[in-house]
Structures are given as C-alpha cells and as structure tokens.
C-alpha cells in the first residue's frame, strides 16, 4: 500500500504511451513523473520500462505488473468516481431523528416539502423523545428540544418552542374561566413530560410557579392532549401542537396572556466539511423552514381572536 500511488503513475504512463502524455494528463512535470517511476523500480529491484529515444517499452516484469495492476486500479477509479458522484448528486439516504410532537407538526411539513422538491432523496425518520441516546448513533441529523447536553456538538438553535395552557370548551363551561394563575389549584391538571413544574410568565415579565397535583400524569403529549379534548382538565403543551384544535374550537386557551414555558429547539449534526451535498441541502432547507415556523406569531393571533 505504501507504493500504491507510484503503481498508479506507472499504469498511467503505460496507458498514455509515454511520460510526457501521462504527465500532461496527471498535471505534473514530466521529470517528476520519471523520477517517481525510477524510485519505484529501485524499490522493486527490477526495470519496469525500457526507455529509448524513440519509444517506451515494457520489460517482462513491467508487463506482468501492468496486467495485474491495470484492472485493480481501474476498479478503484470506478468506485471513487461513483462515490464522488453520489456525494455530489441530490440523491441517497438521510437518517433523521426528532421529538415525536414536533416531528408530527412543523418538522414533518418541512420534510414533506423537501422530499417533494428532491424526489431522489430518501428520508428515514425516527420519532423518539430519548434524545441523549440518539446523539451517539450514526444518524445524520438529530432534532433536540431543550438544552444541549454537550456544548461541543455541531448544532444550530432554530428557535424556541412556546408552551401554553389549554382546555376544552366543555371543561371551561363546567369549571369556569380562569382570571389569574392563582386559580389553577382549583382546577384539574393534566401533567405531561417534560413540564412537571409549570413556570408561567406573562408579557409584562411577571412569573408564577406551580407544582401541580395532577389528576392525570403522562409522558406522551398525544395522550395529554386527548385527555384535554375529552374534558378531563387543563394541559400545558406547545402552542403549535394544538393549533389545529384551537382553530376547530375543540380546545381553548387558558390564561392566554401567560406563556406556559419555552424550550430551545436545536438541529444537531456531524461536521459538514465532507458531508454529501444532499445533507447540506437538507440542513439549510430545514433551517429556513423551522425558523419561519417557530418565529411565527399566528398562534398568538388565533388566541387573540378567541378572547
């Protein structure tokens, strides 16, 4: 393997019929090429080429080397070309992992748009809330909600996921509307990971801390929202996750002037210096898509209409 590059140069000299033509194709001085072949011959202890003023001929040893090396090096060139071409084409597989809730809403919209724009790219999406173990896998991109456990990771913060309190119209009709956060301890609470403790803030910077005694505690947002839709109580979930329920009138904001909390949302990936073009395109596409969605105020606007 030490002299593989010299063997490659030898094959090129034979294929081109001389040093000058081979040097021109390889983009190197003829003298340098000749010296490299001479060094190879010295290492091997035999002549590979018989040099004359009129033409270049293979010795018997040179012919045997060429016949064995030529197909091997040709195969290497083919494989290298295939890999380089694949990395530069908008095709191939991208392996992604993301939190269940956001991957079912904003992120899934972006992935679908990306797939429609680049039909030769395949996406393998793993939906999981087990963030830390995902960071140690061979996934291309991991979307991460919350503070990153390792500051050395290659990551972009795409925005913040904002939480709010919601309940069904039926529940509020039965239990009554709330005028302040202090009234929450008089209501049924549906608790959902990761918000075991509720840190509420309003637009004037006031804060309210609540450690609710939950009537129902779950670790999946879908289950918590289903319970709220059935009128079991008040839930604290991302605003974007229940936007379609609020639009349909199935859920209503509770204390709409108060934020139920917020969590940073990151995109984590490996270094991009040698990344295939499909992965760089995906990262930039999803970056734009998620920043626009997470920065949107339309959920707040919808809440304002229902006050």
Q: What angle do CA 133, 134, 136 make, to 5 degrees?
A: 75
Total Cβ atoms within 10 A of residue 158: 24
Strand duo 207-210 + 198-202: pairing: antiparallel
How does the average pLDDT of the chain come out, rounded? 81
* Residue 6 pLDDT exceeds 50: yes
| Omega before residue 98 within 30° of 0, cis | no
Instruction: Give residue-wise pLDDT tens across range 246-298.
Output: 999 999 999 999 988 888 888 888 765 546 788 888 998 999 888 877 766 43
Instruction: Give residue-wise pLDDT tens across range 75-127.
Output: 665 655 555 555 455 778 899 988 887 788 778 889 999 999 889 899 999 88
Instruction: Give residue-wise pLDDT tens across range 223-258.
Output: 999 999 999 999 999 888 898 899 999 999 999 999
Q: Which residues of 245-261 are buried (b: 16+ CB within 10 A; e: fewer)?
A: bbeeebbbbbbbebbbb
User: Cα(144)–Cα(77) distance, rounded to whole angstroms?
Assistant: 40
What percentage of the chain exceeds 90 in pLDDT? Answer: 26
Boundaries of every domain in the chain: 3-84, 92-160+263-300, 161-262
User: Cα(159)–Cα(144) distance, rounded to whole angstroms?
Assistant: 11
At 300, the pLDDT band (50, 70, 90 cuts) reads very low
At 304, the pLDDT band (50, 70, 90 cuts) reads very low
Instruction: Report the topology of domain 3-84.
Output: Arc Repressor Mutant, subunit A (1.10.10)
- Helix 60-88 with 4-16: angle, nearest 10 deg: 100
Tokens, residue 279 = 């992965």
> Which residues pair with residue 234 across a beta bridge?
189
- Helix 19-26 with 30-44: angle, nearest 10 deg: 110
At 307, the pLDDT band (50, 70, 90 cuts) reads very low
* Residue 145 or 153, more confident: 145
User: Cα(299)–Cα(242) distance, rounded to whole angstroms?
Assistant: 9
Domain 92-160+263-300 and domain 161-262, same fold? Reply is yes
Answer whether CATH 3.40.190.10 is correct for domain 92-160+263-300. yes
Instruction: Report the topology of domain 161-262.
Output: D-Maltodextrin-Binding Protein; domain 2 (3.40.190)
DSSP string, 218-237: ES-HHHHHHHHHTTS-EEEE
* Residue 145 or 301, more confident: 145
pLDDT reported for residue 43 = 84
pTM (predicted TM-score): 0.59
Total Cβ atoms within 10 A of residue 207: 10
> Phi and psi at residue 78, in whole multiples of 5°?
-65, -45
* Residue 134 or 207, more confident: 207
pLDDT reported for residue 251 = 97
At 26, the pLDDT band (50, 70, 90 cuts) reads confident
User: Cα(101)–Cα(162) distance, rounded to whole angstroms?
Assistant: 13
Q: In the block, which residue shows the tokens 């290659």?
A: 154
> Phi and psi at residue 296, in whole multiples of 5°?
-65, 145
Closest listed residue to residue 143, CA positions, set 101, 112, 194, 90:
101
Tokens, residue 91 = 């095709």
Closest listed residue to residue 11, CA positions, set 44, 49, 45:
49
At 128, the pLDDT band (50, 70, 90 cuts) reads confident
Total Cβ atoms within 10 A of residue 128: 14
Of 54-63, 117-126, 168-177, highest mean pLDDT: 168-177
* Residue 182 pLDDT exceeds 90: yes
């Amino acid at each position: 393997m030490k002299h593989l590059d010299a063997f490659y140069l030898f094959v090129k000299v034979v294929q081109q019929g001389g040093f000058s033509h081979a040097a021109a194709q390889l983009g190197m001085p003829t003298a340098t090429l000749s010296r490299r072949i001479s060094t190879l011959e010295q290492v091997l202890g035999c002549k590979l080429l018989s040099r004359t003023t009129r033409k270049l001929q293979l010795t018997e040893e040179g012919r045997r080397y060429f016949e064995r090396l030529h197909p091997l090096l040709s195969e290497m060139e083919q494989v290298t070309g295939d890999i380089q071409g694949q990395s530069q084409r908008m095709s191939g597989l991208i392996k992604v992992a993301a939190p269940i809730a956001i991957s079912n809403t904003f992120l899934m919209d972006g992935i679908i748009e990306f797939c429609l724009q680049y039909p030769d790219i395949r996406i393998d999406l793993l939906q999981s809330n087990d963030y830390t173990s995902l960071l140690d896998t061979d996934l291309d991109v991991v979307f991460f909600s919350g503070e990153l456990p390792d500051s050395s990771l290659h990551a972009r913060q795409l925005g913040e996921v904002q939480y709010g309190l919601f309940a069904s119209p039926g529940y509020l009709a039965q239990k009554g509307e709330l005028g302040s956060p202090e009234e929450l301890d008089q209501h049924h609470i549906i608790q959902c990971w990761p918000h075991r403790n509720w840190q509420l803030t309003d637009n004037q910077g006031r804060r309210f801390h609540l450690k609710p005694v939950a009537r129902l505690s779950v670790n999946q947002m879908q289950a918590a929202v289903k319970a709220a839709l059935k009128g079991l109580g008040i839930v604290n979930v991302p605003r974007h996750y229940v936007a379609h329920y609020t639009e349909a009138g199935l859920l209503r904001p509770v204390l709409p002037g108060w934020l139920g909390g917020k969590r940073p949302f990151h995109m984590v990936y490996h270094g991009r210096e040698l990344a295939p073009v499909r992965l760089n395109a995906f990262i930039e596409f999803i970056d734009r898509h998620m920043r626009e969605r997470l920065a949107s105020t339309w959920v707040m606007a919808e809440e304002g209409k229902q006050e």
